[in-house]
Homo-oligomer: A and B are copies of this chain.
């Protein structure tokens, strides 16, 4: 049976399964993944060039994600059950009994990322959130780690229900699956070009489906004059680590740093060991982008870095705001790899307005402030950062995304194709659910979450009768 056939067959089974059973298999999947770590981590290192310590951390994060979504499924809040009692005296005339909850969309297609072979691949966040929602998942494996993808699925399929998780390979196969009627939603992590092309395919289907793409991000960070005076050495060190880690192949790498004065970063990049890029396509793209940046008039090279067959070391350039404006088409594109652009600004100039004008939507936007710092200028800057990003962070670096209920990993286009959702954190489950309301249903025909005896013990929010809007009078 093909992965799509199996997913379609599994969809009604998963949808009707009590949420604690989904929780149990998600926990079992997490445990199976960790139990196979000694086999999977070296395989991932071989295929991706990422280091073993990083991959050990990532497989643990992936297991935590699966268990977090087990908790989300078991708690049942995600169903957002609302029960509105029938109301014969409703202001607009008799109101029926209405019971609403969220149900799984159906089979989900997950285009895996290159740069997180565990956390955003076969067993990753998109898979965990879709399974928790009750949707079978077909993963289109990333070509950068095909063997790991297959082996991860085999490990998980020792404990998952039949058809809940399948893997396919190849671009044509991925496109065919995206066009397949049985697929009801798709998630994607990758490049702007590929993401836009796939989003267009999803929208042009005879029956369009939701497409959740995470495409690219500059992640601007601003250092205020106060912060630079207070702790420039610490800021330089953190910046260098955030640009260099995993060879900059992170969607939240700070690609743009605004500083109001001297910023001696070169030394902090000394001694960074060469790191292989994930695969030849990424190496080509990075080389091309780096050449463009280095060839831009008005750009000074702070750290030249290197790109060789053995790996890359970071490249850092510096410029001013006028040059950034003039060469925005070159300098304000994401470079997926260890390259960042430092921009000098003049203290007091309206940087918030400049960011709004220049920088496209981003996953994150950050600012380093001095202790107790506050000013009209700073508040305008923070407002501008919020307008362009899904995560606004202070005195830190955007790489390293905490997996917690409040996390937001998304942002205005092109960070994501849909700024109303997130791909990290518990709210990511909402992408794979749709609301259904039952009106005046006989009790015996209600789904479990909507019944008054609440056999699945899910939170139920009740609106009793007699609660017409109370603001002023409705006479008229």
Interface residues of chain A, those whose CB is within 8 Å of chain B, are 12, 23, 26-27, 30-31, 34-35, 37, 57, 60-61, 63-64, 67-68, 70-71, 82-84, 90-92, 95-96, 98-100, 103, 105, 199-200, 203-204, 207-210, 360-361, 369, 372-374, 378-379, 382-383, 386, 389-396, 402-408, 410, 412-414, 417-422, 425, 427, 430-431, 433-442, 444-445, 447, 461, 463, 468-472, 474-476
Contacts and interface: CB of A to CB of B under 8 A. Distances in A.
Given A419-B105, A440-B393, A474-B34, A406 B84 contact: yes
A200 B201 CA distance: 11
B64 A207 contact: no
Contact of A427 (B378, B402, B435, B476): B435
Nearest to A381: B445
Contact of A434 (B60, B420, B439, B442): B420
Contacts of A403: 92
Copies in the complex: 2
A52 to B, nearest CB: 14
A67 B402 contact: no
Contacts of A91: 60, 64
B404 A441 contact: no
A82 B374 CA distance: 25
Given A71-B471, A395-B440, A434 B390 contact: yes
Contacts of A203: 199-200, 203
B63 A207 contact: no
B420 A408 contact: no
A162 B405 CA distance: 37
Contact of A95 (B208, B402, B469): B402
A440 to B, nearest CB: 5
Interface-central residue, A360, A417, A442, A470, by most chain B CB under 10 Å: A442
Nearest to A472: B27
Nearest to A370: B442
A23 B471 contact: yes
Contacts of A105: 419-420
Contacts of A430: 420
Contacts of A413: 207-209
A64 B407 CA distance: 35
Given A71-B469, A95-B404, A463-B404, A394 B208 contact: no
Contacts of A472: 27, 30-31, 67
Contact of A35 (B23, B26, B476): B476
Contact of A471 (B70, B393, B414, B474): B70
A410 B436 CA distance: 9
B440 A405 contact: no
A437 B463 contact: no
Contact of A410 (B407, B435, B474): B435
19 contacts: A27-B472, A30-B472, A30-B474, A37-B476, A60-B476, A64-B91, A67-B474, A71-B470, A96-B396, A98-B406, A200-B204, A207-B414, A208-B413, A392-B439, A396-B439, A407-B437, A408-B436, A410-B435, A420-B434
